[in-house]
């Protein structure tokens, strides 16, 4: 059973298009995240949601719109894609406030904008 699953694994698209990445976790966690890994492998948080509420938005362009229909899902929609959006996007989840707090990551979505 995959704990954090995101789809698709690969996404190739043209500049200007709109695309979505889906994420689901079956761990019962209350917090979900989106991270971006750039071409130099640096990982930076984009958003975090706790029980469907936005907690962190790290100065991400408003072309990126996360949506959390329930606490097990956090999808990422990207409008008007640009070349600089090419990266690997990771979804993650955690249970905040426990003694064993840690993030579990999905396998990543490699987005290539042409």
Task: Say if residues 93 and 46 touch (Cβ distance below 8 Å).
Answer: no
Size of the site for other proteins (CB under 8 A): 27
102 binds other proteins (CB under 8 A): yes
Point out which span in 20-28, 50-58, 61-69, 70-78 binds other proteins (CB under 8 A).
Answer: 50-58
Q: How many Cβ atoms from other residues are within 10 Å of residue 112's Cβ? A: 12
25 binds other proteins (CB under 8 A): no
Burial of 99 by CB count in 10 Å (0-12 exposed, 13-18 middle, 19+ buried)?
Answer: exposed
Residue 30 carries which DSSP code? S
Q: How far is the CB of 98 from other proteins (least distance, A)?
A: 10
Q: Which two tokens stand for residue 89?
A: 């996007």
Under the rule (CB under 8 A), what is the footprint of other proteins? 31, 33, 40-45, 48, 50, 55-56, 88, 90, 92, 94, 96-97, 99, 101-105, 107-108, 110
């Amino acid at each position: 059973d995959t704990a954090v699953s995101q789809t698709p694994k690969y996404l190739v698209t043209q500049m200007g298009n709109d695309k979505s990445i889906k994420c689901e976790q079956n761990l019962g966690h209350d917090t979900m995240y989106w991270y971006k890994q750039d071409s130099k492998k640096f990982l930076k948080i984009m958003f975090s949601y706790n029980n469907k509420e936005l907690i962190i938005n790290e100065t991400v362009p408003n072309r990126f719109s996360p949506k959390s229909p329930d606490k097990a899902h956090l999808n990422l929609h990207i409008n008007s894609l640009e070349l600089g959006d090419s990266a690997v996007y990771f979804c993650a989840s955690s249970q905040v406030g426990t003694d064993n707090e840690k993030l579990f990551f999905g396998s990543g979505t490699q987005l290539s904008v042409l």
